[in-house]
């Protein structure tokens, strides 16, 4: 499916561009040593990169239980749900990621896709508009062109919706 391939591309772009600068778990409980959270997150991320989403989900869920402010874990949890077609859970995870960190591009892209795929085109367009201010000029051009190509019902113009 064309959209599914695009989502994988988005995930890989996000992994290559956004995640190297990602801060790892920002808060852990006393029972969750940082190395445990980091190990779980790394393992889950590897599974995600290998498209083993069903296996990644329980690990990402465990990460967010141990480190409930780990926005990137929520974003990748959402990406895993999205890839498996569980759109309500994907939307919930992406929204939680953005509550924690409004700069997580993968969460915005995931919300665009999940809303579009559930025929909530106006909501998808709204997420595009909310994402635009956090993008650099180069990212804005690239992301909007890709979104316009993959989600034609959004009818995006060069500057957004």
Is residue 40 within 8 Å of 66, Cβ to Cβ?
yes
**pLDDT tens digit sequence for 116-134:** 999 999 999 999 999 999 9
Residues of the chain with pLDDT under 50: 1-3, 5-6, 8-9, 11-31
Q: Where are the domains of the chain?
A: 2-17+29-122
CATH of 2-17+29-122, one of 3.40.50.10610, 1.20.20.10, 3.30.450.40, 1.25.40.10: 1.25.40.10
User: How far separated are the first and last CA of the chain, in Å rounded?
Assistant: 25
Distance CA 35, CA 59 (A): 14
Burial 23-61 (b: 16+ CB within 10 A, else e): eebeebeeebeeebbeebbebbbebbeeeebeebbebbb
Beta bridge partners of 157: 160
pTM summary value: 0.80
Strand runs labelled E in 6-57:
none
Predicted pLDDT at 18 = 43
């Amino acid at each position: 499916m064309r959209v599914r391939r695009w989502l994988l591309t988005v995930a890989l772009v996000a992994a290559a561009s956004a995640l190297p600068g990602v801060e790892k778990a920002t808060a852990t409980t006393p029972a969750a040593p940082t190395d445990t959270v980091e190990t779980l997150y790394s393992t889950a991320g590897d599974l995600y990169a290998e498209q083993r989403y069903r296996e990644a989900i329980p690990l990402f869920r465990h990460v967010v239980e141990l480190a409930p402010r780990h926005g990137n874990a929520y974003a990748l949890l959402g990406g895993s749900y999205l890839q498996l077609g569980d759109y309500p859970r994907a939307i919930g995870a992406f929204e939680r990621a953005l509550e924690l960190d409004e700069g997580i591009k993968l969460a915005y892209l995931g919300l665009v896709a999940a809303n579009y795929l559930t025929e909530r085109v106006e909501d998808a367009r709204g997420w595009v508009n909310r994402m635009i201010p956090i993008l650099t000029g180069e990212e804005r051009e690239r992301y909007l062109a890709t979104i316009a190509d993959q989600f034609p019902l959004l009818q995006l113009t060069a500057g957004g919706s």
